Structure 1
Amino acid sequence: MTEFIIDTASCRTERETIFDHRRELPKVIDRIMASMADDTCFAHIGDEPIHFTTSVKEMIDKFREILFPGYFSREKVDAANLLYSTGQAVSQLHDILSKQIIHVLRHDCRRYELQCTECEPRGNDVALQVIQTIPDLRRLLALDVKSAYDGDPAAKSHDEVIFSYPGLYAITVYRIANLLHKFAIPQLPRIMSEHAHSLTGIDIHPGAAIGNRFVIDHGTGIVVGETSVIGNNVRIYQNVTIGALSLPPNAGEKLRDAKRHPTIEDDVIIYSGATILGGDTVIGARSVVGGNVWLTHSVPADTKVFMESPHLIFKNQETNKEISHENPV
């Protein structure tokens, strides 16, 4: 039998060391409290609490449950319970959505001392108007699903697109957030889009204007800026940036309401790694932008833009001699 010997002296020394460190914490706390009076730093003390992202996730999940009936419900949905389950989900969504809207309206009203906008009636009214658009949203998202399936040989069914494509998740959240953005609801649309961004790697600003049959293939690393305008039947691949040109340090005030991001017209395809920048940049209809292309000026309709093939060098690992790239093996 193995005998275990406890070094009590060592244990006491370790505990004393821990206590020595903890005794320093009150001094650190005093310094942190003193920094609260520094107006150059930011604090959110005594104001209406900012709502929790977990509530936003619950709201998005409830939207998806209604937008795609039977796909994301906790229980099986059939003809016998469809009316009941839909009614319950819509009622729950209205409560969650109106509460979120009222919360952010009240937060901004109190924090920034804005003129009263009657937060509660407005929140309930906007929530109802957004929910009233759900039939139209369902038709719009159905076009997105069909376009993703039709253009992707790897997709085995529409169900697969709905269940597992991160692009569709990001587009779904964008289309809801865009509605709230149009109603001038603060904070909430961005929090929703950043939630989708954190899950998918796809960053679509809720202020962007995006047409129907929009497809994001793969998706990771995509950025679509606030004032981007994207037409119908546009497909973009991973690591595409539709962004703004380099901005001066004081751009926040000078360019806040200016168009800073490109316009992508109908039936355009943008391949992976492409970067398209600038508010005056227009990619004409039916054009194709190849991988890794960098554009800061407009492209006419029906144009293909590709990078010149890079010069590759093949060398034998043993002899270090260059091999013809036409037949390197």
Structure 2
Amino acid sequence: MSDEATVSAHLLSAQPNWDLDRVVAGLREARDTWRSAQRRGRDFGGRELPSRSALNEIAAALCGALFPMRLGPADLRQESEDFYVGHTLDAALNSLLAQVRLELKYAAREAPSSPTELELRAVEIVRSFASLLPAVRRLLDTDVTAAFNGDPAARTVDEVLLCYPGVLAVIHHRLAHQLYRLGVPLIARIVSEIAHSETGIDIHPGATIGESFFIDHGTGVVIGETAVIGNRVRLYQAVTLGAKRFEQDADGNLLKGAPRHPVVEDDVVIYAGATILGRITIGKGSSIGGNIWLTRSVPPGSHVTQANTRQEVINDGAGI
């Protein structure tokens, strides 16, 4: 055997040395530095934050419970629907309770509460969330119907529910929005980000959205936290309902929660690539054309296109 072959055989048989002791020590030092900068003590009591993987399973189970014969198990029969829904919800809500406990415990670092108070609040949040699920299902029915009626390519409502990314994103949003309102915004954000990862549609759970909402195609849609959307609104891909500027306090820190996203009234259509920024109002029944950049309110019944926007700029310039 040649010297080169001998070396190759030795390399193949030898166990690689990754110098893991040094790597592990370096990662521990990085974690300690971060925790110190964030003024966090060491927590030996287990996981301190909700789990994305657990919430992924919970969200999938909730989707199945909402639409058992379409998003539930492949072998489910109608006569077993109630049993499946009850069993699935029992498991999902108990798992959700564990995640809610983690978020409340995490939040209690800033505003301490007793373990009893945290437990009672966690149970009440999950109980309230469960009680809202029938209303969420009825609201989603209007969204599915709007998607079917709004797309000539849709052959059945079942196709819409099974195939359309916009519908999947809206299902997650309807669930996440209720969790956001009930006081677990981190869990709500994770649920919405699960759909964002799958669909490319980014809806903040704080956004308020009316009935019969349809996102056609959907990839690249962004809807900000304080956006308010009315009934029977339709958006196309790459639409942004965003903030124009971010207010700061005297120390230069961003102010959180201030209204900064658009209000879209009933029966509005916004076409692909439109960017609408700031706390402006798009009046009822308006149509916003593709690739529009809009930072001013428009009255009800407006039809905004690139052509009439350019004309306004020309007219404004001519009057100077």
Match of 2:63 in 1: 64
**Deviation sequence 1:78-107 (CA, Å, 0-9, x none):** 343233222212222221222221221122
Partner-residue secondary structure (3-state), 1:199:
helix
Greater Cα shift, 135-144 or 34-43:
34-43
Greater Cα shift, 5-14 or 95-104:
5-14
Q: Distance in 2 between matches of 1:274 and 1:84?
A: 45
Q: Distance in 1 between matches of 2:166 and 2:197?
A: 13
Match of 1:189 in 2: 188
> Structure 1 regions of 5+ residues with no counterpart?
310-329
Change (3 A) 1:130 1:65: same
Match of 1:223 in 2: 222
Q: Distance in 1 between matches of 2:184 and 2:208?
A: 17
Alignment partner of 1:112 is 2:110: yes
Paired AA for residue 71 in structure 1: R
> Structure 2 regions of 5+ residues with no counterpart?
309-320
> What root-mean-square deviation, in Å, do the aligned CA atoms of Structure 1 and Structure 2 show?
2.9
Q: How much does 1:213 deviate?
A: 0.4
Greater Cα shift, 92-101 or 207-216:
92-101
Q: How much does 1:127 deviate?
A: 1.1
Q: How much does 1:11 deviate?
A: 4.9
Paired AA for residue 114 in structure 1: P
- Residue 275 of structure 1 contacts residue 295 of structure 1 at CA under 8 Å; is this kept in 2? yes
Q: How much does 1:124 deviate?
A: 1.7
Q: How much does 1:243 deviate?
A: 0.3
Q: Distance in 2 between matches of 1:12 and 1:77?
A: 56
TM-score, length basis structure 2 = 0.84
- Residue 70 of structure 1 contacts residue 76 of structure 1 at CA under 8 Å; is this kept in 2? no
Q: Distance in 2 between matches of 1:46 and 1:307?
A: 56
Q: Distance in 2 between matches of 1:133 and 1:267?
A: 26
When the two structures are aligned, how many residues end up with a matched partner?
Answer: 302
- Residue 105 of structure 1 contacts residue 186 of structure 1 at CA under 8 Å; is this kept in 2? no
Q: How much does 1:287 deviate?
A: 0.4
The aligned runs of 1:165-180 (5 Å cut-off) are 165-180=164-179
Change (3 A) 1:75 1:301: same
Match of 1:268 in 2: 268
**Deviation sequence 1:191-242 (CA, Å, 0-9, x none):** 1111110110000000011100000000000100000000000000000000
Q: Distance in 2 between matches of 1:43 and 1:106?
A: 14
Paired AA for residue 69 in structure 2: G
- Residue 162 of structure 1 contacts residue 168 of structure 1 at CA under 8 Å; is this kept in 2? yes
Select the structure of larger CA radius of gyration.
1
- Residue 193 of structure 1 contacts residue 204 of structure 1 at CA under 8 Å; is this kept in 2? yes
- Residue 288 of structure 2 contacts residue 305 of structure 2 at CA under 8 Å; is this kept in 1? yes
Change (3 A) 1:41 1:92: closer
Change (3 A) 1:257 1:11: same
Q: Distance in 1 between matches of 2:78 and 2:154?
A: 28
Q: Distance in 1 between matches of 2:174 and 2:98?
A: 20
Q: Distance in 1 between matches of 2:191 and 2:41?
A: 21
Greater Cα shift, 197-206 or 58-67:
58-67
Match of 2:205 in 1: 206
- Residue 284 of structure 1 contacts residue 303 of structure 1 at CA under 8 Å; is this kept in 2? yes
The aligned runs of 1:285-300 (5 Å cut-off) are 285-300=284-299
**Deviation sequence 1:110-148 (CA, Å, 0-9, x none):** x43533372222222211211111211111000000010
Paired AA for residue 43 in structure 2: G
**Deviation sequence 1:21-60 (CA, Å, 0-9, x none):** x45x655555554443464479884264323212111111
The aligned runs of 1:44-193 (5 Å cut-off) are 45-46=42-43, 48-109=47-108, 111-112=109-110, 114-116=112-114, 118-193=117-192
Q: How much does 1:69 deviate?
A: 2.2
Q: Distance in 2 between matches of 1:68 and 1:183?
A: 23
Change (3 A) 1:29 1:94: closer
- Residue 202 of structure 2 contacts residue 223 of structure 2 at CA under 8 Å; is this kept in 1? yes
Q: Distance in 1 between matches of 2:24 and 2:95?
A: 37
Greater Cα shift, 48-57 or 205-214:
48-57
Q: Distance in 2 between matches of 1:179 and 1:307?
A: 37
- Residue 50 of structure 2 contacts residue 187 of structure 2 at CA under 8 Å; is this kept in 1? no
Q: Distance in 2 between matches of 1:169 and 1:163?
A: 8
Partner-residue secondary structure (3-state), 1:260:
coil
- Residue 177 of structure 1 contacts residue 192 of structure 1 at CA under 8 Å; is this kept in 2? yes
Partner-residue secondary structure (3-state), 1:70:
helix
Q: How much does 1:165 deviate?
A: 0.6
Greater Cα shift, 28-37 or 199-208:
28-37
